[in-house]
Amino acid sequence: MQRTDVMPITAAPQSAAVPAISPTWTAVGRGLLLGTVLLYLGIVLVGPMAALFVETTEIGFAKAAEAVLAPAALDALLMSMILVVIALVVNAVVGTLGAIAIVRHRFVGRGALSALFDLPLAVSPVMIGLAFILLVGRGGTLTPWLDALGWKVVFSFPGVVIGTLFVTLPYTVREVAYVLEEIGTSEEEAATTLGASPWQTFWRVTLPNIRIPLGYGLLMTIARTLGEFGAVLVLGGSISGQTQTATTFIHDAMEERQEASAYGMALVLAVMSVGLLLALEWAKTRRQQVLKRSST
Amino acid sequence: MNIRVKNLNKRFGSFVAVNNVSFEIESGSLVALLGPSGSGKSTLLRILAGLESADSGSVWFGDEDATNVHARARAIGFVFQHYALFRHLTVAQNVAFGLDVRRVPKDIALKRARDLLALVGLGGLEHRYPSQLSGGQRQRVALARALAPEPKLLLLDEPFGAVDAKVREELRQWLRRLHDEVGVTSIFVTHDQDEAFSVSDRVLVIHQGGLEQIGTPTEILDHPATEFVARFVGEVNVFRTIVKQGQATTGSLIAQLDEDEAHASGAAHLVVRAYDLKFWREDPGIATVERVVTLGDRVRVQAIVDGAGPIVAQFPRRSSLLKGITPGCRIQVEVAAARTYPANSEVPGLSIP
């Protein structure tokens, strides 16, 4: 309460109905609030991360590094990276087009489409994996058709890709749609009256305006792809060298009591997460600046 | 390029935004679309720009039917109320945008942008971003940007609505001078009658999607065609009255009507402007003064006329007519000019006391 010295100038005579709160108690209250939040974060976030670090130290970093550089581990990491690239490309396109469709066009079922994009946030990935298996797995409705085409979806690479694309669907659409709504259509209309074609308007006006939220959504997509477990396990089956990703690798290593592999891979993912977090923070400040500029 | 609009209609669901509007604007003039908010004037402007399509009717640019021409191909410049500058481009890049998309070489486009920025008084700000400019400066960038591709028609949607009063007055005078310099046919939308009358050659008064009157500012002030126009323009008094032998009588208030006004007889609405009245002290007189309020260079007097109700008059601050007029005193009222309109034509949205 640095400003208590200014109080007498503006304060009305203290009425009986509103008892004065002393600055000391306000400070105590603030301290309690902050303390609770920090304690909670310590328990659920910092603690486990520190434990992971300490455990890896006990095993020895050299041993953990060796385990992560083993062929099976590298395959799993490579699989995660391939999924990241696919998710980035697909979500960049689908996210942008989907957001433009939801925000800029008026059609029957627009609300339903908008809700569909949010579905993966509400539905458990494991459940969706299961639903896919019922559709395209052994004895599934579409299985005879896929067999005739010679396509194998479940427990194969396409299955992992489908699972990943499903869980990462909402992030770019949400972010881009929100900013498109805030910015409005007048800049695009201005471009049109100045003679720009729809193509020119998109590349020169719309895309520059949504590049920050698109980037933010894509960073979230990377984080989600790297962290996804349920959908890729159910649809991919964690077959080493084929459908195993970094997270399913950790799971299998734990099952097989190969601590060095599990901790090493977990540390690799943790380091990536820190990098992503920093990038997200940066994108968030940039996004605020963009929105602020639109309102002034 | 002269502009012709024929029987234009536009509805949004059940809301009639433009109702059978036809008019013609001669080449090189500066025209105001004046009307209260929600009257459809912005929709009309957007139809002229091609940003909205009309349900029926046609728009002609010179001898060319532009009704189905895309906004991009209409060769118009449009200035938005909230500027709509491209926030990721510099001032110079904003102005050059319309030339860039037409594949004009970069150096020529930037040269023209610099020239236009000098014309609108923003030389030296080429490398700023829109967020680093004031509202008045942004609107001038928007104008320079609209003028860059040399449009045949310039459309401005409430161009000065988002800047403060003092800057607005400067921009109006500046727009008039710029128009005289550039000479491009221009149409601007406003709800501010001072703006419409002080800047434009002709004014189109729009009400509930329909065109009420088109004319020079003087014609509209002196010969309002409809009761709406008469009541929308300036501060007015409205009375239910009876017209007989060129005289309109409401309680003790008697107004002599002009020749062209005296045609009808019977029930009518009498519309008297606040500055078309004369008050002087007289006992018994016909009215009692209620309030005298000073508004800068003018004084507003409210009084109650016996049998007719409240009346408001405005006088110049130093007018001899104000001599001895104080609240509570009795006065005589003379109506210097008045107009009557048929009593059956109720004007929606405007009630009669």
Query: B320: which DSSP letter?
Result: G
pLDDT value of position A10: 44
pLDDT value of position A12: 47
Residues on chain B bordering chain A, Cβ-to-Cβ distance under 8 angstroms: 49-51, 71-74, 76-78, 80, 82, 84-88, 97-98, 100-102, 130-131, 142, 145-146, 148-149
Of the partner residues A195, A208, A293, the one whose CB lies closest to the CB of residue B131: A293
Residues on chain A bordering chain B, Cβ-to-Cβ distance under 8 angstroms: 186-187, 189-197, 200, 204-205, 208-209, 290, 293-294, 296
Lowest mean pLDDT among A171-175, A290-294, B275-279, B310-314: A290-294
Instruction: State the Cα angle at B72 between B89 and B173, rounded to 5°.
Output: 65
User: How many other C-beta atoms can be found within 10 angstroms of the C-beta atom of residue A134?
Assistant: 14
Instruction: Quote the mean pLDDT of chain B.
Output: 89
| Inter-chain Cβ pairs, chain A and chain B, closer than 8 A | 70
Of the partner residues B77, B86, B130, the one whose CB lies closest to the CB of residue A193: B77
> Residue B134's closest CA among B176, B166, B182?
B166
> Residue B84's closest CA among A293, A109, A153?
A293
Residue A4's pLDDT band (boundaries 50, 70, 90)?
very low
* Residues of chain B above pLDDT 70, percent: 95
Residues B241-254 have a mean pLDDT of: 86
Q: Tell me the angle at which helices A246-255 and A71-104 cross, rounded to the nearest 10 degrees.
A: 140
User: How many other C-beta atoms can be found within 10 angstroms of the C-beta atom of residue A156?
Assistant: 16
Sign of the C-alpha dihedral, residues A83, A84, A86, A90? positive
Of the partner residues A195, A205, A290, the one whose CB lies closest to the CB of residue B86: A205
Q: What 3-state class would DSSP assign to A251?
A: helix
User: At residue A3, does pLDDT exceed 60?
Assistant: no
DSSP H/E element including A282: helix A259-295
- Condensed to tens digits (0 to 9), the pLDDT of residues B162-210 reads 788 888 888 888 889 989 988 899 999 999 888 999 899 999 999 999 9
User: At residue A6, does pLDDT exceed 50?
Assistant: no
Residues B64-70 have a mean pLDDT of: 93
Residues A103-119 have a mean pLDDT of: 89
Lowest mean pLDDT among A245-254, A277-286, B307-316: A277-286
Most B CBs within 10 Å: which of A104, A185, A193, as the mutation test of the B interface? Answer: A193
CB contact under 8 A, A205 and B71: no
Of the partner residues B82, B87, B101, the one whose CB lies closest to the CB of residue A194: B101
Residue B3 · residue B61 · CB < 8 Å: yes
CA distance readout (Å), A290 to A175, B129, B253: 13, 12, 62
Q: What 3-state class would DSSP assign to B302?
A: strand
User: At residue A1, does pLDDT exceed 50?
Assistant: no
User: At residue A213, does pLDDT exceed 60?
Assistant: yes
CB contact under 8 A, B78 and A189: yes
pLDDT value of position B98: 95
Residue A296's pLDDT band (boundaries 50, 70, 90)?
very low
In chain B, which residue's Cα lies nearest the Cα of A293? B131
Residue A214 · residue A171 · CB < 8 Å: no
pLDDT value of position B334: 92
Lowest mean pLDDT among A19-28, B63-72, B290-299: A19-28
Residue B19 · residue B30 · CB < 8 Å: no
Query: Residue B179: left if φ>0, alpha if ψ -120 to 50, beta else—which one?
Result: alpha
Of the partner residues B101, B142, B148, the one whose CB lies closest to the CB of residue A200: B101
pLDDT value of position A140: 81
- Chain A hits for B73, Cβ within 8 Å: 195
pTM for the model stands at 0.80
Instruction: Quote the mean pLDDT of chain A.
Output: 86
pLDDT value of position B146: 95
DSSP string, A107-169: -TTHHHHHHHHHHHHHS-HHHHHHHHHHHHSTT-SSHHHHHHHT---TTSHHHHHHHHHHHHH
Residue A9's pLDDT band (boundaries 50, 70, 90)?
very low
CA distance readout (Å), B9 to A254, B59, B255: 72, 11, 40
User: At residue A2, does pLDDT exceed 70?
Assistant: no
Most A CBs within 10 Å: which of B72, B78, B150, B157, as the mutation test of the A interface? Answer: B72
User: How many other C-beta atoms can be found within 10 angstroms of the C-beta atom of residue A31?
Assistant: 10
Instruction: Identify the residue with better confidence: B217 or A139.
Output: B217
Q: How many Å apart are CA A187 and CA A96, to the nearest integer?
A: 17
Residue A253's pLDDT band (boundaries 50, 70, 90)?
very high
Both tokens of B33, joined, read 């679309």
- Condensed to tens digits (0 to 9), the pLDDT of residues B83-137 reads 999 999 999 999 999 999 999 999 999 999 999 999 888 999 999 999 999 988 9
Q: What 3-state class would DSSP assign to B202?
A: strand
Strand partners, B214: B204
Sign of the C-alpha dihedral, residues A93, A96, A100, A101? positive
Residue B305 · residue B252 · CB < 8 Å: yes
Most B CBs within 10 Å: which of A186, A194, A207, as the mutation test of the B interface? Answer: A194
CA distance readout (Å), B14 to B7, B11, B349: 19, 7, 18
